[in-house]
Amino acid sequence: MSTVSVIGRGITPFGRSDESIKSMVVKACREAIVQAGKPKIDAVFVGNFAAGPLASQEILGSIIANELGLGSIPAVKTEGACASGGIAFRQAYQLVKAGEYDTVLVAGVEKMTGLDTETVTQAINYAMDHESNEGASGLTFPGFFGVLAHRYMHEYGMEKKHLAMVALKNRQYAINNPIAQFKKETSLEEIMNAKPITDPLGLFDCSPISDGAAAVVIQRGDDGVQILSSGQASGTPLMQEVDQLLHISATNQAAKKAYEGAGLGPEDIDVVELHDCFSMTEMIAIEELGFFEKGKGWEALAQGLTQHGGKVPVNTSGGLLSKGHPIGATGIAQIVQIVDQLNGRACNQVEDARIGLAQNLGGTGAYSLVHIFSKKGV
Amino acid sequence: MSTVSVIGRGITPFGRSDESIKSMVVKACREAIVQAGKPKIDAVFVGNFAAGPLASQEILGSIIANELGLGSIPAVKTEGACASGGIAFRQAYQLVKAGEYDTVLVAGVEKMTGLDTETVTQAINYAMDHESNEGASGLTFPGFFGVLAHRYMHEYGMEKKHLAMVALKNRQYAINNPIAQFKKETSLEEIMNAKPITDPLGLFDCSPISDGAAAVVIQRGDDGVQILSSGQASGTPLMQEVDQLLHISATNQAAKKAYEGAGLGPEDIDVVELHDCFSMTEMIAIEELGFFEKGKGWEALAQGLTQHGGKVPVNTSGGLLSKGHPIGATGIAQIVQIVDQLNGRACNQVEDARIGLAQNLGGTGAYSLVHIFSKKGV
């Protein structure tokens, strides 16, 4: 098995875009390829959730290969709800590590704005188990994480303001991220008093509808940020089947595999991008990734342990909450931020960051992926 | 790199089904797992094109893993239009060969019936490049292959009746396939006089709208039908960019890689399943796969060289034209038929079949995959 590195990265502005899905993804890919020094690309993997219903466009793999003039190389789209990008990255990494390809372009993209709310909401709900009674009973993604938040508050004494502190932290990070969707100063009070979405989650506790694309080029060798390991796990897509409501077991399992693969533990991680589709999801994730004990995440957050100067800065890009959440792009955008951190070129740079981790969730815990990276030469 | 074998296969009836997409794919998977002797499964790959818009259901990877109780294993959906199934198979094969997994379940599924024609046609057209002028000008998949047929007739002297002979051959094979969509005796005259779809293609020259699922279990080792090689290539999704209209270069390139990988040539192949989404597509494919010279496929067909007793029997399952074409399932269903042939248990069994080939196309040539297999112990 070989060493594999990220040798180039590209990303478009996240938010509402006038550009087409093809235009966005090609732009991100081009930036990544140029930064990588225009190597010969052997395959393309692209993560995308719902380009069919949202942009009337499938076959994105072939479209990217063709539009960039990459020749007759293999091209693959992967889907796993919001984890579509992370899944694409993992396939590419495993196949380069195995020697099947030398250099692979991995992209993620979603086009979500400019449609009526019903179309977008309907497409997002394709990420639930449609045959279960849960969807029919009106359970939605905000509803699921709202229930988790209530239960967590009940079990561990967290208050609504701690959720707001997650949103505030990520909002403040986003201000410095040129590609972020939300860059306006926001106060804790504003977040606390925002329009309720699903009690106790308000508008700022929920990630937005976004357009955007991100891409990386990975290559065998150590000439870049090194990919140390990949962990992926599945979990039930149904709330009624979850063993313990406050655990997202797929994240825990994926992290375990990734830590084992890298020979590292949570104590070794200097910077993290994790899947904060809701503020509550970040709270659960910092526990499942082993940074804090179950039920103690909110206290750690309140003590500033998940930001600069604390134990481990989380979502320095602004996260899904404030950078934005173009579904298929998210997993790759997280990796772009970790790569930037380990190259010393990130917005909200963490001083002396050597090891970084990216965690990407799909559904309410149907998929989770964890990738661990190290700075070049570490 | 290890030897990898197909150790189990499952398939549902193709055609109009009352079952849900989940029910169909789980049924095919269960049959494959039972036939494989219920091994521990390490990962799931599922090929699917448009389960979102057609069945309101994404996250099929996780749903299969969860429904079958396979634990927290990695699960991935792949998309590449009608090549979605072949792409899923290739990922699984490459990763088992590389030692990333020991035993992998690969499924393919599509649910297409029970919807209004507009919804289905719209979804199928997601497999064209939506931003080009071609779709806007009214070019459709039947239109594309109709143009090819006219050009081929002009260049090489083929007549409409030779296309009908492709349809008749596949219809006759389907009569013996218990899972095929069309099992009624049909005459050449009936095919020739059928409702025109896009001149010169009539109803029987076009594959139908179908529901269905197929699955295989693959494992490291030689205890089954051996997978000798995999080739994948991309091509332009646009007619206006094609160098030579009568070549589908992705198929040619994919075949070249697969033959090289297996150390074999077209002369070694005993039985073939190839992508006859239209009768014309089969004519092109038998040439691109190297069985006959360019422009000579129609004569070979007329001489019976693509059926039992000829050079190489093609689409003994009935093909997409008559077995049916549930898009995501097709690539896996082709492999199921080749596996059955090499196990000596196929409908329309080819005597002493030792080497088989499956070719799966996506779009009008945006993707093509070729896999070569050998009988156990060969």
State pLDDT tens for residues B64-83.
999 999 999 999 999 999 99
Structural domain includes residue A344: no
CB pairs under 8 A between A and B: 191
Q: At a CB cut-off of 8 Å and minimum separation 6, what does A250 contact?
A: A233, A234, A235, A361, A365, A366, A367, A368, B72
Rg (CA), chain B: 19
Q: Do B59 and A362 touch (CB under 8 A)?
A: yes
Residue B50 pLDDT exceeds 70: yes
Q: Does the residue B87 lie in any domain?
A: yes
pLDDT number for residue A2: 84
Tell me the per-residue pLDDT of B135-158, one tens digit each, with 9 for 90 and over: 778 889 999 999 999 999 999 999
Amino acid A136: pLDDT: 79
ipTM: 0.97
Query: Which of A18-32, B116-130, B262-276, B335-349 shows the lowest per-residue confidence on average (mean pLDDT)?
Result: B116-130
Cα separation, B198 vs A361, in Å, equals 45
Structure tokens at B355: 């080497």
Beta bridge partners of B361: B368
Q: How many CB atoms lie within 10 A of CB B30?
A: 15
Mean pLDDT across the stretch A154-182? 98
CA distance A219 to A231: 19
Note the pLDDT tens digit of each residue in B304-346.
Answer: 999 999 999 999 999 999 999 999 999 999 999 999 999 999 9
Mean pLDDT of B123-132: 91
For residue B160, give how far its alpha carbon lies from the nearest alpha carbon of chain A (Å): 31
Residue B333 near residue B212, CB atoms below 8 Å: yes
State the pLDDT confidence band at A71, using cuts at 50, 70 and 90: very high
Joined tokens for residue B77: 């959906």
Q: Cβ A131–B87 below 8 Å, yes or no?
A: no
Q: Is residue A378 included in any domain, yes or no?
A: no
Query: pLDDT for A80-111, tens place per residue?
Result: 999 999 999 999 999 999 999 999 999 999 99
Q: Is the pLDDT of residue A1 over 80?
A: no
Is residue A82 flagged as an active site residue?
A: yes
**Which of the residues B1, B23, B59 would you substitute to probe the A interface, choosing the one with the greatest number of A C-beta atoms within 10 Å?**
B59
B118 phi and psi, to 5 degrees? -60, -45
- Higher pLDDT pick, A239 / B194: B194
Residues of A in contact with B57 (CB under 8 A): 126, 129-131
Domain assignment of residue B18, yes or no: yes
Residue % of chain B over a pLDDT of 90: 96
Under the banding of pLDDT at 50, 70 and 90, the label for residue B133 is confident
How is residue A136 written in tokens?
Answer: 């029919």
What does DSSP say about strands A196-198 and A201-202: parallel, antiparallel, or unpaired?
antiparallel
What is the average per-residue pLDDT within B179-187? Answer: 97
Instruction: Tell me whether residue A105 is in a domain.
Output: yes
Write out the catalytic residue numbers of B: 82, 325
Q: What is the DSSP letter of A185?
A: -
Q: Please indicate whether, in this complex, the C-beta atoms of B130 and A56 are within 8 angstroms of each other.
A: yes
Residue B289 is predicted with a pLDDT of 98
CA A227 to CA A219: how far, in whole Å?
10
Measured between CB atoms, which of A48, A55, A62 is closest to B366?
Answer: A62
What is the rounded CA–CA span in Å between residue A178 and residue A94? 31
Mean per-residue pLDDT for B194-202? 97
Contact in structure between B77 and B64 (CB atoms under 8 Å): no
The answer to whether A127 faces chain B, any CB pair under 8 Å, is yes
What's the pLDDT score for residue A232?
A: 98
pLDDT at residue A263 greater than cutoff 90: yes
Q: Are A55 and A20 in contact (CB under 8 A)?
A: yes
| pLDDT for res B312 | 98
Terminal CA-CA length for chain B: 19
The verdict on whether omega for the bond into residue B142 sits within 30 degrees of 0, i.e. cis, is no
Tokens at A68, concatenated:
């960039």
CB contact (8 A) between residue B126 and residue A51: yes
- Tell me the sheet residues that pair with B272: B314, B357
Strands A103-110 and A43-47: parallel
In sequence order, which residues have a C-beta less than 8 Å from that of residue B196 and are 6 or more positions away?
Answer: B202, B203
Give CA–CA dist B253/B233, Å, rounded: 6
B22: which residues sit within 8 A by CB, 6+ positions away? Answer: A129, A130, A131, B57, B60, B63, B67
Task: Please name the residues in contact with A38: beta carbons below 8 A apart, sequence gap of 6 or more.
Answer: none
Number of domains in chain A: 1
Reduced 3-state DSSP string for chain B: CCCEEEEEEEECCCECCCCCHHHHHHHHHHHHHHHCCCCCCCEEEEECCCHHHHHCCCCHHHHHHHHCCCCCCCEEEEEECECHHHHHHHHHHHHHHCCCCCEEEEEEEECCCCCCHHHHHHHHHCCCCCCCHHHHCCCCHHHHHHHHHHHHHHHHCCCHHHHHHHHHHHHHHHHCCCCCCCCCCCCHHHHHCCCEEECCEEHHHECCCCEEEEEEEEEECCCCEEEEEEEEEECCCCHHHCCCCCCCHHHHHHHHHHHHHHCCCHHHCCEEECCCCEHHHHHHHHHHCCCCCCCCHHHHHHCCCCCCCCCCCECCCCHHHHCCCCHHHHHHHHHHHHHHHHCCCCCCCCCCCCEEEEEEEECCCCEEEEEEEECCCC
Is residue B340 in some structural domain? no
Half-sphere exposure of A204 (CA within 13 A, CB side): 28
Residue A258 parent element (H or E): helix A249-262
Residue B147 lies in a domain: no
Contacts with A80 from chain B: Cβ below 8 Å: 59, 61-62, 75-77
pLDDT band at B1 (very low <50, low <70, confident <90, very high): low
pLDDT band at B274 (very low <50, low <70, confident <90, very high): very high
**Res A267: pLDDT:** 98
CB within 8 Å of chain B, chain A residues 46-75: 48-53, 55-59, 61-63, 65-66, 70-75
Show the domain range for A96: 4-116+210-219
According to the model, what pLDDT value does residue A378 have?
86
Residue B77 lies in a domain: yes
Assess whether the previous peptide bond of A178 is cis (omega < 30° from 0).
no
Please state the rounded mean pLDDT for residues B200-205: 98
- Centroid of chain to Cα B361: 7
**CA-to-CA distance for B77 and B359, rounded, in angstroms?**
20
Cβ proximity of A191 and A204 under 8 Å: yes
pLDDT attached to residue B138 = 85
Catalytic status, residue A325: yes
Domain at A108, CATH number: 3.40.47.10
pLDDT at residue A362 in the model:
98
The whole-number pLDDT of residue A138 equals 85
- Split at pLDDT 50, 70, 90, the class of B2 is confident
pLDDT averaged over chain A?
97
Q: Which of A48, A98, A130 lies closest to B57 in CB terms?
A: A130
**Distance between CA atoms of residues B201 and B144, nearest Å:** 11
